[in-house]
Amino acid sequence: MSAAASAAPAAPADTRAERLAAALAAKPDGIVEAIARDVGVSPRDVLAAMPSGEVVLLAADRFGEVWTALGTWREVLFIVHTDTVVLEVKGSLPAGSEGHGWFNVHGDSPIGGHIRKEACAAIALVDRPFHGRRSCSVWFLDGNGEAMFKVFVPRDAARALDPDALARFEALMAAG
């Protein structure tokens, strides 16, 4: 018997869906990437399974429009989350420009770099609890349903969401 033939069959989709629903019910404010890993789905699958009103999915062709809107916030929390690193940078989001196959981000901010804009398959606007507090973020998702990066409404010293950025996030979410 070949290794492929003896491998355990993949769990049926409905079993994964049931496990995902159970995981979200057990920890509705948990880390999306951890839930995805535990259930065997992508973070996009987890976002899609969240209660109505918590997530608005946008087409990837709105990348420039969304990036420009985020640039109007005084400050953001920019996060790149991999299996081994969660990198958080707080600052203003510089305007980007396209060149040499990249969306280039440079300006008077600690946030800078180069993004493969064409790798973005969808954008998710997410308003959900996280560790007992409201959390509002914009996820740029790749074709595998993984977050390329996330932009969060920042918190002040008292851990309250910045009211100006929150109002702009809510307007973006309402406009869908």
Q: Which residues, in sequence order, are CB contacts of 109 under 8 Å at separation 6+?
A: 91, 92, 93, 94
User: What does the pLDDT look like over 4-32, one tens digit per residue?
Assistant: 444 555 656 578 889 999 999 999 999 99
> Given this model, what pLDDT does residue 16 score?
86
pLDDT category, 176, cuts 50, 70, 90?
Answer: confident
- H or E stretch covering 34: helix 32-39
Q: Residue 60 carries which DSSP code?
A: G
> Where exactly are the structural domains of the chain?
54-175
Count CB-CB contacts under 10 A for residue 144: 10
User: What does the pLDDT look like over 102-144, one tens digit per residue?
Assistant: 999 998 999 999 999 999 999 999 999 998 899 999 999 999 9
> Given this model, what pLDDT does residue 7 score?
54
CB 156 within 8 A of CB 162: yes
Angle between helices 32-39 and 13-26 in degrees, nearest 10: 140
54-175 belongs to CATH 3.40.1570.10: yes
pLDDT category, 2, cuts 50, 70, 90?
Answer: very low
The CA distance from 57 to 172, in Å, is 12
> Given this model, what pLDDT does residue 46 score?
97
User: What does the pLDDT look like over 48-82, one tens digit per residue?
Assistant: 999 999 999 999 999 999 999 999 999 999 999 99
Count CB-CB contacts under 10 A for residue 41: 20
Q: Which two tokens stand for residue 118?
A: 């064409």
pTM tops 0.85, yes or no? yes
Q: Which two tokens stand for residue 160?
A: 């309250």
> Given this model, what pLDDT does residue 10 score?
60
